[in-house]
Structure 1
Amino acid sequence: MGAEVVVEGLTKSFGRQTIWRDVTLTLPPGEVSVMLGPSGTGKSVFLKSMIGLLKPDRGRCVVNGVDIVSCSEHKLYEIRKLFGVLFQDGALFGSMNLYDNIAFPLREHTKKSETEIKRIVLEKMDMVGLAGADKKLPGEISGGMRKRAGLARALVLDPEIILCDEPDSGLDPVRTAYISQLLLDLNAQIDATILIVTHNINLARTVPDNVGMLYRRELVMFGPREVLLTSDEPAVRQFLNGSRFGPIGMSEEKDTATLAAEQQLADAGHHDGSTDDVYGVVPQLQPTPGLPDRRGVRRRKDRVMSILHSLPPAAQEGIIESLTPDEQQHYGVRPHMFATAPIGRRPSPQPRDRIEGDLGVANLPQTTWRPPEPGQGGGV
């Protein structure tokens, strides 16, 4: 099973510019999580801080009991071996063929024989669909193949944690769909903890178990996917729908005059640039037939059901409706049970083997923007 990552109060600045502050979240072991956020909100900085490439100003990031923020260089070197990282552009060595690129971590960090290295490299290449491409140079292959080669390299040390920095960047929708399925299939096969940074809303809605969002130097929220996908927070709805109308602007934050002008456009029925309203929970991708079931799914259900009573009503409904009838009976829940229960007397789901959990929601500055009424052309 993948390792748990506990982040507490992490803050990072460059000079006087605060990138994000007091970020607190837990990546559950063996589950797939996604981090969303507008460009420039420090998502890549967050990944680099998690593996010690950048040192946060304060806070903790604990992996297997080791705080990588305060540990020694020797300990950090060892902990990094638990991570596999897929960088935005693949970060392949242009002068090496794919085989040598993927073999590099094994030659750098282990004493394995070339025979053993060859077995591992070819196995990982086959796992990501690159069998037979070992002699090609990075400049001779497509962007999608470079992504998969970078992913194969991230897998050769059998990591417990995989970090993916925009695995879909530069890829067309079809290749993005293949990458999404590949990441989920890998989780089914190796049960690693996975964190994906992305702007791709379809990936964020269908792949992860948990979703978070960075905005205005805060972690807006992080928790079960159903919470963010049914959120009424204006910044979250605007981002998910890809709309121009809302608190997020080209410079991330809009002034009052811009918000008022956009509200007038929305009231007049001007289109906001979005396509469809993506509010709500959609079915999650499943592993390719023939692969094992994801072990993280059962652990997640137990964990989420233990905190179900503390989640927003719309998220509760989405979670309950995703359960099979047998699972609903097992957990002692039924559709609409929380919506109809008196406030303050909503029952806790069964069984009562409680797992403590918490959903962090940032207190964002209030905005004067409001979503347009249905039929007014706002698209949210």
Structure 2
Amino acid sequence: MGVEVVIEGLTKSFGKQTIWRDVTLTLPPGEVSVMLGPSGTGKSVFLKSMIGLLKPDRGKCVINGVDVVTCSERKLYDVRKLFGVLFQDGALFGSMNLYDNVAFPLREHTKKSETEIRRIVLEKLEMTGLSGAEKKLPGEISGGMRKRAGLSRALVLDPKIILVDEPDSGLDPVRTTYISQLFLDVNAQIDATFLIVTHNINLARTVPDNLGMLFRKELVMFGPREVLLTSDEPVVKQFLNGRMDGPIGMSEEKDSATMAAEKAMFEAGHHAGGVEDVTGIPEQMQPTPGVPERGGARRRKDRVMRILHTLPPAAQEGIIESLSPEERRHYGVQTHHGLTSQRGQLPTEDVAALPGSGWREPRQATDTDRLPPPYPQQGRS
């Protein structure tokens, strides 16, 4: 199973320019998480800081009990072996064919024989749908195939954590959906922890178990996908709908004068762009038939049901609606005259917590619990 990543108070700056500050979140083991944010908010910097390629100013990033911010170079080298990284353009060596590109980490970091390397490489190429293409050069294949080859290379060391940076860059919407399906299939097969950085709203709405967003040098929120998808935060609604009307501007943040001028323009009838009313919680994509059930999805459902009463009412409703009749019986969820209640005790083993994510620590549900409860704040984490 993938490992948990606990990030507390992480801050990064370059000189006097703060990129983001006091970022606190937990990536639950084996689950798929997505980080959104306008261009220039430091999403790629965040990935590089997690893996120790960049040194944060302060804070913690704890993986398997090791804080990559303060650990020695030797320990950092060992922790990096837990990671697989898919870069924006695949980052393949142009002079090597796909086989040698995928085999490269095995030859560099292990003492495996060429026979064993061949078995592993062909297995990963088959997993990503590239069987028969191992002799092709990166310049001879499409952008989507280069992404899949990069993913194959990221998988050869059997990582526990997979970081994906802008998987949709250079791909059309259809290929982006195919690569999204591939992420879920791989997650189902190896149960690794995924963190995907993206601008793609379709991917963000349909793929992850958890969603977060960076804006104005801070983490706006992070938690179960239903929370962000039903949020009334202006920056979240603007980003999901791709409109000009909101706090995000061409240079990330608008001043009050710009917002006032644009408001007058929109009220006069100028179209704010984007799509109309991207609201609600779409059904989450599932692994391809024949692929094993996602262990992370099963654990995630247990975890979310334990903290259900702490979530905003709209997120609660979306989670309840997604439950099958069998799951409602399992979790003791009953609906009477439009009111939903949750009864019984939930299993506590193998359930990941979200310390510091902004949601209150859950208590065990009782027979008198009734949903939705009052929720005083849905602001920044």
Return the TM-score normalized by structure 1.
0.91
AA at the equivalent of 1:285: M
Q: Which runs of 5+ in 2 are unaligned?
A: 360-377
AA at the equivalent of 1:42: G
1:82 matched to 2:76? The reply is: no
- Name the residue aligned to 1:360: 358
Question: Is contact 2:302–2:346 with CA below 8 Å preserved after alignment?
Answer: no
AA at the equivalent of 1:351: Q
- Using the TM superposition, give the Cα deviation of residue 32 of structure 1 relative to its aligned residue in structure 2, in angstroms: 0.3
- Name the residue aligned to 1:295: 295
For 2:81, what is the secondary structure of its paired residue?
Answer: helix
Change (3 A) 1:204 1:210: same
AA at the equivalent of 2:345: P
Change (3 A) 1:349 1:229: farther
- Name the residue aligned to 1:244: 244
- Name the residue aligned to 1:56: 56
1:105-130 CA-to-partner distances (Å, cap 9, x unmatched) read 00011000000001100110111111
Change (3 A) 1:206 1:335: farther
- Name the residue aligned to 1:22: 22
Mapped to 1, the partners of 2:34 and 2:354 lie a distance apart of: 18
AA at the equivalent of 1:304: V
For 1:315, what is the secondary structure of its paired residue?
Answer: helix
1:351 matched to 2:355? The reply is: no
- Name the residue aligned to 2:208: 208
- Name the residue aligned to 1:47: 47
Question: Is contact 2:25–2:354 with CA below 8 Å preserved after alignment?
Answer: no
Mapped to 1, the partners of 2:286 and 2:335 lie a distance apart of: 23
- Name the residue aligned to 2:9: 9
Mapped to 2, the partners of 1:253 and 1:68 lie a distance apart of: 31
1:168 matched to 2:168? The reply is: yes
1:259-294 CA-to-partner distances (Å, cap 9, x unmatched) read 112222332332211123111101000110011111
For 1:360, what is the secondary structure of its paired residue?
Answer: coil
Map 1:63-102 → 2, pairs under 5 A: 63-102=63-102
Mapped to 2, the partners of 1:177 and 1:165 lie a distance apart of: 16
Q: Which moved more, 1:266-275 or 1:5-14?
A: 266-275
Question: Is contact 1:308–1:349 with CA below 8 Å preserved after alignment?
Answer: no
Question: Is contact 1:330–1:351 with CA below 8 Å preserved after alignment?
Answer: no
Mapped to 2, the partners of 1:313 and 1:252 lie a distance apart of: 30
For 2:202, what is the secondary structure of its paired residue?
Answer: helix
For 2:333, what is the secondary structure of its paired residue?
Answer: coil
- Using the TM superposition, give the Cα deviation of residue 99 of structure 1 relative to its aligned residue in structure 2, in angstroms: 0.8
- Name the residue aligned to 1:368: none
- Using the TM superposition, give the Cα deviation of residue 192 of structure 1 relative to its aligned residue in structure 2, in angstroms: 0.6
- Name the residue aligned to 1:228: 228
- Name the residue aligned to 2:367: none
Percent identity over paired residues: 77
Q: Which runs of 5+ in 1 are unaligned?
A: 342-346, 365-380
- Using the TM superposition, give the Cα deviation of residue 317 of structure 1 relative to its aligned residue in structure 2, in angstroms: 0.3
Mapped to 1, the partners of 2:106 and 2:251 lie a distance apart of: 42
Q: Which moved more, 1:276-285 or 1:106-115?
A: 276-285
AA at the equivalent of 1:111: K
Mapped to 2, the partners of 1:4 and 1:85 lie a distance apart of: 17
- Name the residue aligned to 2:195: 195
Mapped to 2, the partners of 1:168 and 1:87 lie a distance apart of: 11
- Using the TM superposition, give the Cα deviation of residue 334 of structure 1 relative to its aligned residue in structure 2, in angstroms: 3.7
1:127-146 CA-to-partner distances (Å, cap 9, x unmatched) read 11111111111111111111
Question: Is contact 1:309–1:349 with CA below 8 Å preserved after alignment?
Answer: no
- Name the residue aligned to 1:137: 137
Change (3 A) 1:335 1:7: farther
- Name the residue aligned to 2:365: none
Change (3 A) 1:16 1:254: same
Map 1:233-272 → 2, pairs under 5 A: 233-272=233-272
Question: Is contact 1:88–1:169 with CA below 8 Å preserved after alignment?
Answer: yes
Change (3 A) 1:349 1:240: farther
Q: Which moved more, 1:193-202 or 1:93-102?
A: 93-102
- Name the residue aligned to 1:317: 317
Mapped to 2, the partners of 1:164 and 1:88 lie a distance apart of: 8
Question: Is contact 1:308–1:348 with CA below 8 Å preserved after alignment?
Answer: no
Mapped to 1, the partners of 2:151 and 2:157 lie a distance apart of: 12
- Using the TM superposition, give the Cα deviation of residue 357 of structure 1 relative to its aligned residue in structure 2, in angstroms: 4.0
Mapped to 2, the partners of 1:219 and 1:336 lie a distance apart of: 37
Return the TM-score normalized by structure 2.
0.90
Q: Which moved more, 1:109-118 or 1:260-269?
A: 260-269
1:182-212 CA-to-partner distances (Å, cap 9, x unmatched) read 0000011111100000000000000000000
Poorly superposed stretches of 4+, deviation over 3 Å: 334-337, 347-350, 352-359, 361-364
- Using the TM superposition, give the Cα deviation of residue 340 of structure 1 relative to its aligned residue in structure 2, in angstroms: 5.1
